[in-house]
Structures are given as structure tokens and as C-alpha cells.
Amino acid sequence: MIRVGIVGVGNIASMLIQSIHYYRYSGSVKGLIHTFIGKYGVGDIEVVYAVDVSKYKVGKDLAEAIFQPPNLVPKLVDIGLTGVKVRMGKVLDGVAEHMVEDFTPSDEPEPTADELVRELRDVGVDILINLLPVGSSQATKFYADVAARAGVSFINCIPEFIASDPKYQELFMSNKATLLGDDIKGQLGATIVHRALARLIAMRGGEIVESYQLNVGGNTDFKNMLEQSRLHSKKISKTMAVASTQSNPYETFNKVFAGPNGYIPFLANTKVSYIYIKALGFMGLPVTLDVKLVVDDKAMASAVLVDVIRLTKVLNDLGIYGAPSWASAPYFKHPPTLTRSDEEALQELYKRLDEYGVRIEPKYSLW
Ligand SMILES: NC(=O)c1ccc[n+]([C@@H]2O[C@H](COP(=O)([O-])OP(=O)(O)OC[C@H]3O[C@@H](n4cnc5c(N)ncnc54)[C@H](O)[C@@H]3O)[C@@H](O)[C@H]2O)c1
């Protein structure tokens, strides 16, 4: 079993917990990126610890907490009670002013870092996953420090620079824990599709002159991102992910616009993305491309997360600590070192796992 703790019992947590149950008991492997990583299937993941700050979630069993407002993921499977009670967290900058009525902070006393370190050890958590709202800079650092001190591995799903910060790489290395991040990619989300198209253009000799990726959705993730001051690292993460596919990433960075662009409540967890690229091809003649992508935003993230959790555990079992970039690159928008294509990143992951004698199934290749 892989014993996982979650910080932020929001929509991704709900989809993740339901998906573990679904894959464990249905016997299906449809829709998974990898069925096995090492000896682990998705059903081997167990969420044993959870932290939130909402008065509707704190104190409740996880099975009930994931369906409390403002979560929107419907009940897809019946998971029964889990025996895991959501504990109160430290609010810090997790709740933006315009989100107080949505995230409804509880009056329960906040824990100290020492208390959380002790609990992570007592519960025997292997991996802590950061699922806080975008812009939670202090809160992310607080929980990352707690995980490192407890010797617990950390997966940073949000666009705060932790795995890509040498200070945290060393901190996790010295505490013999593994760190993966930053900012999780979707299974077939806007970033990976935008990157694939941009890479194809570069591979065929074209040059991007302008490109945008507009995203709208109707969940608290999108509502939270209405506050521009919380978006700084999100924009860097998304834009650099696309620019890094080109031979001149820093020049291309200024020609790409990628970010969240609106909150439309009726869309709920449906995310709509519009990707536009104008490139110059043969003899400088223009090529333009427009794509509309419609996905379930939380399924996209959870599909990648079930891979990342198993990979983190495999690395930890092998004694690979700190933040190996080759492990983060296929799965995160802002890994410690950016890669030119997701194909290259995936092949590098396969090569490294082969060297360590770790099986990963199935293996994909585009070309
Ligand atoms: N496709 C995707 O969904 C995707 C992709 C990349 C990154 N992300 C990021 O993952 C994160 C989680 O997404 P989500 O849709 O589950 O978010 P969400 O808004 O549904 O949930 C956030 C949760 O965090 C809780 N919270 C707020 N402050 C807290 C604190 N200080 N301590 C503990 N809990 C706190 C809230 O009460 C809420 O339950 C977001 O930052 C999102 O941008 C999502």
C-alpha cells in the first residue's frame, strides 16, 4: 500500500479518492496512463490523512468531506466510510479574500508545524500531496517544510516553485524524502496539447510568432484565479511549458500568452481551452492553427496524479531522494529542468526506470 496524505480536500481530492476506489474494485484499467509502475497498481494507493480548513470539511470522514460545498465532482462511486477524519490545517494565504465564502474557514484551532510533523509520522504517511488553491505561497512552504521534517515525500501539484527550487531539493534530499513538482499537467489538458502542437511546429522547421491559450471553467479553482495577484507563478509555469518546446525558449516566452481567463459558473468542472498558434513556415509564409479542447478538469489532473503517486513511492523505495527532474518532467508543467517535448520526457523516464530495474506498463512511443 502507498499511504498518502492530502492537503486541500477540494475537487481533485474528490476525483482522486473516487478513482482509486473505482480502479481497485472495477478491475478496469481503461483510461489509465500506466497500469503498473513498479509493483504498484492504482488500487494500491490509500489516502490515510487529510487536511483542510473549511468548516464543512474539517472533522468529517473523508468520504463525506469530498462531497461538501463548494466541491462539485459528483458521486461517481460509493466509497463507504474511510475512517480518516479531515483535520484542521493552517490557513495562512490559502484562502483569498474573495474566496472566504467558498472555502469558509473553520474556527477550530490551527495546528503547529510540530503537531503536523508528529501526526505524519504517527499515521505513517509516505507521501503528502499539495492541493491548495493557486497563490498559496506561504501555506505551500509551510506544508512542504512539515513534510520534509517528517521525512515524508512531497508532491507539489500547484504552481508554487518548490521542486524547482534548489533550497527545497536539498531540504528533501537531506531528510531522505522524494520531491516531485511543480504544477501538475493534465492527462490531455491544454498545456500538454499546446506543447505537442508547438513542438511539432518546431520539428517541421516553423517558428512561432504568436500564440495564446485561453482557459475558462466554473469551479473554485477558476474562481480563485480571478485574483490576478495570485497568478504570477501560474502564468510563468504555463507559458514556459510552451516556450520550452522551441529552440529559443526565452525569446518565445514573450510571444506566448497562456493562463486562466475566466470563471463561468455553469461550466462547473468542465474546462474549455482555446489554443491559437501563428507560425512562419516555408519561405516565411504563415500557418495558423486554432484548437478548442473540452475536458473534465479534475479527471485530467487525477489521471496524472495516480501515476505520480506510484512513481514517487517507487523512487522512495529505491532511495532516490531530492527532486529528480527526469521523474517530474513528464508529469509537471514546471519541473526542475524544462524539457523540449513530452515524448522525450517520457522516453527518459522509461530509460531511467529500466536502469533501476523498475517495470512500467504499458510503454508508449509516438515516433
Ligand atoms: N487540472 C487541474 O485541476 C489542475 C492542474 C494543475 C494544477 N491544479 C491545482 O491544484 C490545486 C487543487 O485544485 P482543486 O480543483 O482541487 O482546488 P479546490 O479549489 O477544489 O480545493 C482547494 C481546497 O484547499 C482548501 N484549503 C484552502 N486553504 C487551505 C489551507 N491553508 N490548508 C488546507 N486546506 C486549504 C480549500 O478549503 C479547498 O478544499 C489548485 O491549486 C489547482 O490550480 C489543478
* Residue 336 beta carbon below 6 angstroms from any ligand 1 atom: no
Q: Which atom belonging to ligand 1 lies closest to the Cα atom of 224?
A: 19
Q: Which atom belonging to ligand 1 lies closest to the Cα atom of 13?
A: 16
What tens digit of pLDDT does each residue of 321-332 get? 999 999 999 999
Average pLDDT over residues 280-296: 98
pLDDT at 366: 74
* Residue 92 beta carbon below 6 angstroms from any ligand 1 atom: yes
Nearest residue by C-alpha to atom 2 in ligand 1? 301
Ligand 1 mean position, distance from CA 362 (Å): 30
Q: Which atom belonging to ligand 1 lies closest to the Cα atom of 143?
A: 32
DSSP 8-state secondary structure symbol assigned to residue 40: B
| Confidence check: pLDDT of 87 > 70 | yes
What tens digit of pLDDT does each residue of 166-223 get? 999 999 999 999 999 999 999 999 999 999 999 999 999 999 999 999 999 999 999 9
Residue 361 lies in a domain: no
* Same structural domain, 86 and 138: yes
* Same structural domain, 292 and 304: no
Confidence class for position 365, pLDDT limits 50, 70, 90: confident
The answer to whether the beta carbons of residues 334 and 109 sit under 8 Å apart is no
- The CATH number given to whatever domain includes residue 138 is 3.40.50.720
Residues spanned by the domain of 127? 2-185+299-355
Ligand 1 mean position, distance from CA 109 (Å): 21
The answer to whether the beta carbons of residues 301 and 155 sit under 8 Å apart is no
Sign of dihedral through CA atoms 110, 154, 234, 86? negative
pLDDT at 367: 61
* Same structural domain, 304 and 170: yes
Average pLDDT over residues 249-263: 94
Residue 366 lies in a domain: no
> End of a domain among 280, 296, 312?
296
pLDDT at 119: 98
* Same structural domain, 196 and 171: no
Count how many domains the chain has: 2
Ligand 1 mean position, distance from CA 282 (Å): 44
What radius of gyration do the chain's Cα atoms show?
20
What tens digit of pLDDT does each residue of 144-165 get? 999 999 999 999 999 999 999 9
* Same structural domain, 88 and 205: no
Q: What angle do CA 279, 285, 286 make, to 5 degrees?
A: 35
* Same structural domain, 173 and 37: yes
Cα–Cα distance for residue pair 253/147, rounded to 1 Å: 33
In total, the chain counts a number of residues equal to 367
* Residue 5 beta carbon below 6 angstroms from any ligand 1 atom: no
Residue 208 lies in a domain: yes
What tens digit of pLDDT does each residue of 215-230 get? 999 999 999 999 999 9
| Mean pLDDT for all residues in the chain | 97
Other Cβ atoms less than 10 A from the Cβ of 250: the count is 10
Nearest residue by C-alpha to atom 44 in ligand 1? 301
What tens digit of pLDDT does each residue of 125-135 get? 999 999 999 99
* Same structural domain, 42 and 148: yes
* Residue 146 beta carbon below 6 angstroms from any ligand 1 atom: no
Beta pairing partners, 360: 37
Residue 284 lies in a domain: yes
Q: Which atom belonging to ligand 1 lies closest to the Cα atom of 8?
A: 24
What is the Cα 178 distance to its own chain's centre?
Answer: 16
DSSP 8-state secondary structure symbol assigned to residue 183: S
Q: Which atom belonging to ligand 1 lies closest to the Cα atom of 103?
A: 37
> For residue 362, is the peptide bond before it cis, meaning its omega torsion is within 30 degrees of 0?
yes
* Same structural domain, 130 and 12: yes
Mutation test residue for ligand 1: of 52, 102, 106, 238, the one with most atoms within 8 Å of CB: 52
Residue 287 lies in a domain: yes
Cα–Cα distance for residue pair 73/160, rounded to 1 Å: 24
Residue 363 lies in a domain: no
- The CATH number given to whatever domain includes residue 259 is 3.30.360.10
* Residue 133 beta carbon below 6 angstroms from any ligand 1 atom: yes
The answer to whether the beta carbons of residues 11 and 221 sit under 8 Å apart is yes
Beta pairing partners, 280: 207, 286
Closest-CA residue to 128 (of 1, 307, 300, 313)? 313
- Cell numbers representing residue 200 in the block: 511539432
Cα–Cα distance for residue pair 358/314, rounded to 1 Å: 8
Other Cβ atoms less than 10 A from the Cβ of 155: the count is 28
The answer to whether the beta carbons of residues 295 and 189 sit under 8 Å apart is yes
User: What percent of the chain is predicted at pLDDT more than 90?
Assistant: 98
Ligand 1 mean position, distance from CA 221 (Å): 6
| Confidence check: pLDDT of 343 > 70 | yes
* Same structural domain, 230 and 345: no
* Residue 10 beta carbon below 6 angstroms from any ligand 1 atom: yes
Looking at this protein, which amino acid is placed at residue 208? I
Alpha helix stretches (DSSP H) within 186-292: 190-203, 220-224, 232-243, 249-253
Residue 209 lies in a domain: yes
Q: Which atom belonging to ligand 1 lies closest to the Cα atom of 225?
A: 43
* Same structural domain, 124 and 16: yes
| Confidence check: pLDDT of 285 > 70 | yes
| Confidence check: pLDDT of 123 > 90 | yes
* Same structural domain, 50 and 198: no
Residue 162 lies in a domain: yes
User: What percent of the chain is predicted at pLDDT more than 70?
Assistant: 100
* Same structural domain, 178 and 210: no
